[in-house]
Amino acid sequence: MENYVYAPEIAKLGHVALVSEDIEKSLWFFKEILGLEETAVEDGIHYLRCWGDFEHHSLSIRSGKTSYIDHIGWRAKRVEDLEQFALLLEEKGTKVKWIESGEEKGQGRAIRFQLPTGHKFEIYYEMDKPKGDENNKPFLKNQSHKAWAKGISTRRIDHVNIATNAEVETVSNFIIDNLGFKLREYLVDSEDQQLGAWMSVTNLVHDIAVMKDPNAPTTHQMHHLGFWLDNAQDILRAADILSEHQVEFVGPGKHGISQAIYLYVIDPGSGLRIELFSNSYLIFEPDWEPVKWTLEDKKALTYWGENSSQANRTTIRG
C-alpha cells in the first residue's frame, strides 16, 4: 500500500457498451421507445444518452454476430484515480489494460479490467459533455437537452445488475475491497450464502447489484440495465407506451429490497433486459448497516405487483 498517495474513488456509473445482434431493432427500441438521444455515430458505434445525462454517452451500441456487454464504464472522482486504481488492481493480481484518449468517442484515457467472474469494467475520468443541438436545445440551462422529446423519455442511467453462476460473494467482495463500493442490502440462502448483493458509491441504494443464477450459461452474465424515471406515474406512462407499440413487459410492481417501483422490458434487438426504475430511497448515513434479507422474507424481491421473479432469468453475456 506504500505506493498509494490516497485511496482512489469511483464517482458514479457512467455507461454500458452493448453489442447487439440486431442493431436496427436495438436502435429503434432505445431511440424511439425509450427516447434516448443519439450524440454521435463513429466506426459503426452509436452513442446515446438520456435527457438527464450530461456526459457524451450513457449507452453505446454496435453490431455483432451475438449480443453481449463489451464493458461497463465507471467515472472516477479525479483523473489521478486512474493511476491509483491501476496500481491497486495490479498489486492484487488483476490485469489492467490502458485505453488511450479518443479510442472510445468523447472519452479520455481509461483502464479496463475483468472481475473474477469475467465481467469487464472500465474506469475513466475525462468525458465530453456536449449540449443538445439547435433542434434539441433545452430552455433550462441545467439540462443537456430537451426532456420528453420522444417516447418514454428516461431521465438518466441508474444502475447495472450483473449475474453469475459462481459465488456472489466472490464478486461483491472484489467490488467492495478493490473499488470502494459499500454493501447496502443483501439476500442470503438457508446456508447464509449470498444470493444477491446491492452496492453503491453514491447515495443510491445501488449503483450495481450482483445476482446468483445457477442456471446461467457463464460466470459473466448481464441481468439488467436500469434507467431512472422520476415517479411512479412515469412508470405507468411507460407501460402505456410499451403496450401501444406491442412490446411485452413485466410489472409494474414494487421491490422490497430498494423499495423501488419497477417495470422490466427486453430490448428486441439484443435481448438485454431493461429495468425502468423509480421512487426507491437514498442513503445519507455514513454508518449505514447493510440490510440482510433471507428466503423467508417473501416480499424481498416483490413487495407488491406482478412478480419480479418472472424477469429473473439472465439475458445476455456480460
For cell 467492495, the residue is 176
Same domain, 83 and 167: no
pLDDT tops 70 at residue 3: no
According to DSSP, the residues that pair with 307 across neighbouring strands are none
Q: What's the confidence (pLDDT) of residue 312?
A: 66
Residue 296 sits in a domain whose CATH number is: 3.10.180.10
Instruction: Report residue 196 CA to chain centroid gap.
Output: 16
Residue 90 lies in a domain: yes
3-state helix, strand, coil in the chain (%, to 5): 15, 35, 45
Same domain, 74 and 218: no
Same domain, 306 and 219: yes
Same domain, 22 and 164: no
Q: What is the pLDDT of residues 82-105, one digit of tens each?
A: 999 999 999 999 999 999 999 999
Per the model's pLDDT, the better-predicted residue between 269 and 135 turns out to be 269
Q: What is the pLDDT of residues 113-170, one digit of tens each?
A: 999 999 999 999 999 998 877 788 888 888 888 888 899 999 999 999 999 999 999 9
Contacts of 278 (CB under 8 A, 6+ apart): 228, 229, 230, 231, 232, 234, 235, 260, 261, 262
Residue 140 lies in a domain: no
* Averaged pLDDT of the chain: 93
Residue 139 lies in a domain: no
pLDDT tops 50 at residue 59: yes
Residue 49 lies in a domain: yes
Residue 75 lies in a domain: yes
Q: What is the mean pLDDT of residues 109-113?
A: 97
Same domain, 192 and 239: yes
State how many domains the chain has.
Answer: 2
Backbone φ and ψ for 223, nearest 5 degrees, come out as -75, -55
Q: What is the mean pLDDT of residues 13-39?
A: 97
Boundaries of domain holding 119: 10-124
Same domain, 179 and 306: yes
Same domain, 103 and 171: no
pLDDT tops 80 at residue 277: yes
Strand, coil or helix: what is 195?
Answer: strand
Percent of the chain with pLDDT over 70: 96
Q: What's the confidence (pLDDT) of residue 313?
A: 66
pLDDT tops 80 at residue 2: no
Confidence band (pLDDT; 50, 70, 90) for 1? Answer: very low
Q: What's the confidence (pLDDT) of residue 141?
A: 84
Backbone φ and ψ for 234, nearest 5 degrees, come out as -65, -35
- Residue 313: name the closest of 185, 193, 217 by CA: 217
Q: How far apart are CA 49 and CA 42, in angstroms?
A: 15
Same domain, 88 and 19: yes
Residue 2 lies in a domain: no
CB atoms within 10 A of CB 3: 10
